[in-house]
C-alpha cells in the first residue's frame, strides 16, 4: 500500500519547528501506515534520504463539555530523520 496518500500532511507545531533544525520532520499519517511504507513515500515524494523513522500513536481521549461527554479522536504521527545536510521546505522560518 505504498502510495502517496499514506501521509496526510506535515505537522507544524512549536516542537516540529524546533526539530527541523536537527533534520527531523513530523507528519500526520494514516493509522494503517507502516514504518517502511512511510519511509518509501517520504523518499519518493520529497526526493531525500531517510535515515530513521519514529512512529507515535496518540490514543483517543474523553472530553467533557458541560454534561455531555465526547471523545477526541486519536491519530498517528511520525518523526522522520533525514540524512545529514538534507532538508525539506515545509516549515516556516
Give domain status of residue 44, yes or no.
Answer: yes
Asked if residues 65 and 71 have their Cβ atoms less than 8 Å apart, the reply is no
Task: State the pLDDT confidence band at 87, using cuts at 50, 70 and 90.
Answer: confident
Phi and psi, residue 51, nearest 5°: -100, -30
Give domain status of residue 87, yes or no.
Answer: no
Give domain status of residue 65, yes or no.
Answer: yes
Average pLDDT score, the chain? 91
CATH code, domain carrying 37: 3.30.70.330
The pLDDT score that the predictor gives to residue 72 is 95
pLDDT digits (tens, 9 = 90+) for 7-24: 999 999 999 999 989 999
For residue 56, give every residue at least 6 positions away whose Cβ sits within 8 Å of its Cβ, in sequence order, or none. 76, 77, 78, 79
Grid cell, residue 11, equals 505537522
Q: Could you tell me the pTM of the whole model?
A: 0.84
Domain count, the chain: 1
Give domain status of residue 36, yes or no.
Answer: yes
Give domain status of residue 76, yes or no.
Answer: yes
Give domain status of residue 24, yes or no.
Answer: yes
Amino acid at each position: 500500500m505504498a502510495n502517496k496518500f499514506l501521509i496526510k500532511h506535515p505537522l507544524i507545531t512549536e516542537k516540529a519547528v524546533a526539530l527541523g533544525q536537527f533534520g527531523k520532520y513530523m507528519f500526520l499519517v494514516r493509522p494503517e501506515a507502516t514504518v517502511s511504507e512511510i519511509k518509501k513515500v517520504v523518499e519518493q515524494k520529497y526526493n531525500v534520504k531517510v535515515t530513521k523513522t519514529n512512529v507515535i500513536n496518540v490514543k483517543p481521549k474523553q472530553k467533557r463539555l458541560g454534561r455531555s461527554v465526547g471523545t477526541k479522536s486519536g491519530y498517528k504521527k511520525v518523526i522522520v530523520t533525514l540524512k545529514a545536510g538534507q532538508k525539506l521546505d515545509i516549515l516556516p522560518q
